Amino acid sequence: MKIPKEELVAILSQFNPWWREEKIPDLPTWCRAVFHELMQWIENPPAQRAILLCGPRQVGKTTLLLQAIQKLVASGVPPANILYATFDHPVLKLAGLDTVLEAWRELEPKAEGPEYIFLDEAQFIKNIGTWVKHQIDFFKTKRVVFTGSATPLLQTGQESGVGRWHSIRISTLSFYEYLQIRKISFSSLPQAASLHEIFESTPAQLYKMTEATTALIGHFHEYLVRGGFPQTALVDSITQAQRLLREDIIEKVLKRDMTALFGVRRILELELLFIYLCMHDGGLQDTTTIAKELGIAKQTVHNFIDLFESAYLIYRLPPFGYGKEVLRARNKIYLSDPAIAPAILLKGKTVLEDAHALGQCVETAVIGHLFSHCSSRQARFSYWRNQREKEVDLIVEIDGTIIPFEVKYQSQPVQDRDVMGLIELCTQKPSIQQGYVLTKAPQDIGLMGRATPSNKLARVPVALFCYWLGASEFMQKNFLLG
């Protein structure tokens, strides 16, 4: 079907107000931490590549694009050389990319300097990988930035995409970003340049951390149930925030995107599996058991889990180690945001009264924070479990360093007997210099007891840990290594 150029021009004009020397309406002044990396690749790219912003729906990818455009216009880039188009719009999706580009140039003739092309929801563009390859190979003055809420464009164009685009994964809001967007500040909270400073802190410094962290707990719990999505973070009602999150995931991702992008037809089975994962957040991927309990074919379960990962709804955590034994072992599955399970299961704030469910949410938040912090640093993530079922929740391997983390979100102070798996791992692996137990109470902080090998383990309250980790992103520091 041919779309009249007049209709395309009218739509593009609405999406590109800078062509009329108008400001972008309702654009927040606050930027996410990843904005600095995005602008570096747009303004002074380390290599000739396009930029892919990927991540789940509603994490702020569109806002990042518009903030980048606003900065370009403010820096003197001719407005006619900047195009924004979202292929979530039915008319633009039907018209296709080439027709949209033609309409842009008919309306706005090119000015001197590079062209900046911002393509939103590019997973709906046919052969986007091939198009990006062509632009990067033959048009050196074009800067292409595109977003995706699912990864079929990466899978279908993986070979041609190698060396053609730089991927920036956008996770849900960190706890620090959540406080910033809610305009909640803690000026008295001690800052840390790196996590290992906790080993060197004096009792007086630890006391100050405890005192300041006490005020974080209530906000951290609200963050867990409200969600790390900008839209839900700004809603005053937690019930309303969870309803919006539930609608986005069920209606837009599971029912619409999975059908449009992956051709899924058995939506009911897809929903049942996702609800199952919400009920077992952080559980092992036992495909046989899941298939038996839900009455779904084993291969279908496996395929659907792959799709959830492609839509950025889950993280998969393999077991620690290498070789055939690890290849045969089961992965652990975590949701991409701690508020997803309470929202889908209609738990509201009651999750805060359920110690097990709250512990799952906290563990999911920690996994998400660490994945986000290390996403551009080629880190490897895993969990550890021995034959006696002793376990370590998460191991991060980065720059040759192994850092284990154990989440113990319990009311009573954490003792050595609570983290015997972590102690055993540190004993077996002399190369591990430091490990961390992430606790609940603000006063549960500092070095672990005498049973730990060579004082390798320290306790850090989870709320403080997530706050520090998110804050370090704005300083562009590797908080784990210093």
Is the domain of 257 the same as that of 364? yes
User: Regarding beta strands 380-385 and 401-408, do their DSSP bridges make them parallel or antiparallel, or are they unpaired?
Assistant: unpaired
> Does one domain contain both 182 and 153?
no
Say if residue 110 is in the same domain as residue 164.
yes
Looking at the structure, tell me whether residues 291 and 423 fall in a common domain: yes
Owning domain of residue 39? 5-170
Phi-psi region of 389 (alpha: psi -120 to 50; beta: other; left: phi over 0): left
294 and 422 in a single domain? The answer is: yes
Encode burial over 292-319: b for 16+ CB neighbours within 10 A, e otherwise. Answer: eeeebeeebbeebbebbbbbbbbbebbb
Q: What is the pLDDT of residues 279-330, one digit of tens each?
A: 999 888 889 999 999 999 999 999 999 999 988 999 999 999 765 555 567 8
**Tokens at residue 302, please?**
């496996």
Which H or E run contains 457? strand 457-461
Q: What share of the chain is helix, strand, coil (3-state, %, to 5)?
A: 50, 15, 35
Any domain includes 103: yes
Backbone phi, psi, residue 319, to 5°: -70, 155
Strands (E), 330-456: 332-335, 380-385, 391-398, 401-408, 435-439, 446-447
User: How would you class 158 by CB atoms within 10 Å of its CB: exposed for 0-12, middle for 13-18, buried for 19 or more?
Assistant: exposed
The sheet with strand 142-148 has its strands ordered as: 82-86, 115-120, 142-148, 50-54, 165-169
Q: For position 52, what pLDDT does the model report?
A: 93
SS3 for 428?
helix
pTM reported for the whole predicted model: 0.91
- 83 occurs within a structural domain: yes
Q: Do residues 184 and 287 both lie within one domain?
A: yes
Indicate whether 223 belongs to any domain. yes
Span 407-451, pLDDT tens digits: 999 989 999 899 999 999 998 888 898 999 999 999 999 998 654
Residues near 48 by Cβ (< 8 Å), separated by ≥ 6? 136, 140
Residue 267 contacts residue 249 (beta carbons within 8 Å): no
Residues of the chain with pLDDT > 70, as a percent, come to 94
Quick check: is 33 in a domain?
Answer: yes
Pair of tokens at residue 21: 């020397």
Contact 337, 372 (CB under 8 A): no
Looking at residue 465, its pLDDT comes to: 96
DSSP of 92-137: HHHH-HHHHHHHHHHHS---SS-EEEEEESGGGSTTHHHHHHHHHH
Query: What H or E segment, with its residue span, contains residue 54?
Result: strand 50-54
pLDDT attached to residue 363: 96
Q: Is residue 335 part of a domain?
A: yes
Do residues 217 and 159 share a domain? no
Determine the Cα angle at 48 with ends 44 and 52, to 5°.
85
Same domain, 157 and 268: no
> What does pLDDT average to over the chain?
89
Q: Which residue has the tokens 């383990």?
A: 457
Q: Are residues 271 and 212 in the same domain?
A: yes
Please work out, in degrees rounded to the nearest 5, the angle formed at the alpha carbon of residue 14 by the alpha carbons of 8 and 16.
Answer: 100
CA distances from residue 424 to 28, 94, 323, 353 in whole angstroms, order as listed: 48, 58, 21, 32
Residue type, 287: T
Strand segments, DSSP code E, in 261-322 are 314-317
pLDDT (average), residues 388-395: 90
Examine the domain organization and report whether 166 and 180 are in the same domain. Answer: no
| β-pair partners for 86 | 120
Please, which residues bridge with residue 120 across strands? Answer: 86
The residue out of 170, 193, 215 marking a domain boundary is 170
The pLDDT of residue 258 is 86
Question: Is 215 strand, coil or helix?
Answer: coil
Residue 205, both tokens: 């410094």
Q: Choose among 2, 1, 118, 132: nearest CA to 65.
A: 118
Rounded to an integer, the average pLDDT of 124-140 is 87
User: What CATH number should be reported for the domain holding residue 10?
Assistant: 3.40.50.300
399 with 252, same domain?
yes
The single-letter DSSP state of residue 2 is: P
Give 229-271 pLDDT, tens digit per residue.
Answer: 998 998 888 999 999 999 888 888 888 888 877 888 899 999 9
- Is 482 part of any domain? no
Q: Which residues contact 190 (CB under 8 A, 6 or more apart)?
A: 205, 208, 209, 212
Query: Has residue 272 been placed in a domain?
Result: yes
> Among 157, 176, 235, which residue's Cα sits nearest to residue 468?
176
Model pLDDT for residues 324-374, shown as the tens digit of each residue: 555 567 899 999 999 999 999 999 899 999 999 999 999 999 999 999 998
Same domain, 142 and 270: no
Is residue 294 left, alpha or beta, with left meaning phi > 0 and alpha meaning psi from -120 to 50? alpha
Domains in the chain: how many in total?
Answer: 2
Residue ending a domain, choose from 170, 199, 230: 170
Domain end point (choices 170, 193, 212): 170
Assigned domain for 339 exists = yes
Q: What sign results for the dihedral spanned by CA atoms 475, 480, 481, 482?
A: positive
What is the tens place of the pLDDT at every residue in 144-198?
Answer: 999 988 765 555 444 445 568 898 999 999 999 999 999 998 877 888 888 988 9
